[in-house]
Structure formats: C-alpha cells, structure tokens
Structure 1
Amino acid sequence: MMRYAVLLIAMLLAACQPTSGPAPEPAPANIVPAAADFVLVDKSDRTLAVYYEGKLIKTYQGIGFGDAPSGHKQFEGDERTPEGLYTIDTRNPNSAYHLSLRISYPNTADRARAESIGRDPGGDIFIHGQPNAMSGLGPDARIPGDWTDGCIAVSNAEITELWNAIPDGTPIEIRP
C-alpha cells in the first residue's frame, strides 16, 4: 500500500511540472536573417531584395529614391540615386531619419567621372527610414514618391529589419 501511495505522489508531482507546451511554429519564410550577405536594389522595379547564401530572403517593394530617380548619380546635388556595386560601410543610429545604413558611394570611378566635369561627386548616400521630424508617422508609413537627395527610403519598420540584418561590409548592387 505504501508503494502505491509513493507512486501516486510521484505521478502527481510529475504532473505539476511545467511542460514545454505545443511545438513552436516554423518561422515564416519571408523573415530577414540575422546576417544578410547581399543586397540588390532595382530602381526600375522599386525593390530592395535581401539575400543570404545566394537565396532570396525578403523583398521590400515601393521604395523611394532621390527626386531624380532615373540615371546614375553624377555629382553632388543632382538628386539621383547611384547605380553600381558598393558596400554598406557604416550605420548611423543618430540619423535625421529613423536609422540609416551608409552606402560606399562614391567609388573611384564615381570620383573620376565627377572630376572630369569639374564637380564634386557628393556622398552620404544611405538606406534610411522616414524623417524623425515626422514622428507622427506609423512604423509602416512612407512619404509617397521620390523625395530624398539620392538616398533609398523605406518605412521605419523596414529600416529596423534591415539595420538588424545587414552587417557593415555587405555588398549592395543598385541596378537602373
């Protein structure tokens, strides 16, 4: 009888232990990884795609560019977004926009092209969120159209994802 009482108590105590709960659901397929290794911007499609180990992870649609979105950036003040191969070379948590990732424009060819016409190539081209001065915007809101001076604009929620996923040194290709 004592054996049964001990067994019953052991079973009751085991039943009080926390369980692991239901099996976790798999992560959605369209989640940006912890470390992307390539970014592709297509200006004509208005997309920014993030890749990891050669596989498309997520595409952001309807992104904004400089006020003059067609063509490669030639010089400071032309309000064009550069085209070509660059890298994400640093990040700015104190940006005038909700986070920003700097693109390594200008490269050697960009400098030479601008110098050949007696101009400064400019710089400080970023992927960034919405202006901090417009703090009333929701995290998914965007200023419509092309409004930057040559940067790539996404929503605040999107730049937060990109900020967390894209390490410094990540290659970025910007296509016409």
Structure 2
Amino acid sequence: MGILRVVAAAALVLALTGCASKFKSYDGPEVTRIVVHKSARVMYLMHHDQVLTRHRIDLGFAPEGAKRAEGDGRTPEGRYYIDRRNPRSRYYLSLGISYPNARDIQVARAAGASPGGDIFIHGKASPFPWAREDWTWGCIAVTNREMRDIYAMVKLGTPIDIYP
C-alpha cells in the first residue's frame, strides 16, 4: 500500500510539472503592440518603439494578399487586437486575433462570401509530420517554445498590425 502511494504521488508531481512547464510567467516590459510583416515572414513583439522579441512565422497556405473569405488560406491584413486566449488549443497554445472586423465582413458580403474567423497566433500540433512553410488556414504560427513566451508576454487587448 505504501509503494502505491509513493508511485501515485510521483505520478502527480510529474503531471503537475509537465503542465507547469507549458505556462511561463513574464515580468519584463509590457508588450504594447505586435507587428507582423507577412512578406518577410516575421513577427515582432514591441514595447512602444523597442523590439522585445523577433519570431520567424508561418502563415496561411495562400500567403499573398489579404484574407477575403472563409477557406481562402490567407492571413488577414490590417489592425486587429488580441481578443482571447486558448490554453487548450489543438495547436499547443493560442492567442485569438479579432478578425473579422466590420470592414472584413463588408468586403466578404460584397463578394457573396463569409469572412470566416478563428484566426490565431499559435504553436504547432505535435506530432505535425506534414507541416511546411505557410501551412495554416490563415493563422500565424511559431514554434511551441516561442509560443510559450508569446503566451506569457501578450495580454488581451494588445493591438496587432499585420502588413503585407
């Protein structure tokens, strides 16, 4: 009976340690803005005009041009905000981007389409054997290691500017 308790306690400690490693804390300068340059495949976390971190990114599988409709494989362009956090994301961790905005909805409706939604900054599902450059459906993807840092650093309401 004593060995069973020791094994159970060890399993609990290992499980909690594994969960804790996914979530980091951050006490550095506030991320006041996220800047994405799609053509350069780069994302910056900014504190005003100071670059805090730089990340190589993957985009939607059709990266040229702004997102116009659901399923087009494009990453949106424009100013959005981080509007939700998903600690149980299929893609490790994720931060929701406030796409679509009123203009995105108007453009899609004018074309007789739905604008879609569920655009995120996220990590990669594991295992992810078929992942290649620009593999998402319009999201911004980074490594899981980077996503742990980004998830800790970025707060809800942070603006994100996505440029061509």
Give distance in 2, aligned partners of 1:53 and 1:76: 33
With the length of structure 2 as denominator, give the TM-score of the two structures.
0.80
1:53 aligns with 2:26: no
Residue 72 of structure 1 aligns with which residue? 66
- Name the Cα RMSD after superposition: 2.0
1:44 aligns with 2:39: yes
Determine if contact 2:29/2:47 at 8 Å carries over to the other structure.
no
- Letter of the aligned partner of 2:159 in structure 1? P
Residue 155 of structure 2 aligns with which residue? 167
- The 3 A distance-change label for structure 1 pair 34 and 51 is same
Unaligned runs of 5+ in 2: 1-25
Determine if contact 2:77/2:163 at 8 Å carries over to the other structure.
yes
With the length of structure 1 as denominator, give the TM-score of the two structures.
0.75
Displacement, 1:32? Answer: 9.0
Determine if contact 1:33/1:57 at 8 Å carries over to the other structure.
no
Counting aligned pairs with the same residue, the percent is: 45
Give the number of the structure whose alpha-carbon radius of gyration is greater.
1
Residue 21 of structure 1 aligns with which residue? none
C-alpha deviations, 1:58-80, integer Å up to 9, x for none? 1112x100110000000000010
Displacement, 1:143? Answer: 3.3
| 1:168 partner SS | coil
Unaligned runs of 5+ in 1: 1-30
Residue 131 of structure 1 aligns with which residue? 125
Give distance in 1, aligned partners of 2:27 and 2:58: 20
Q: How many residues align?
A: 139
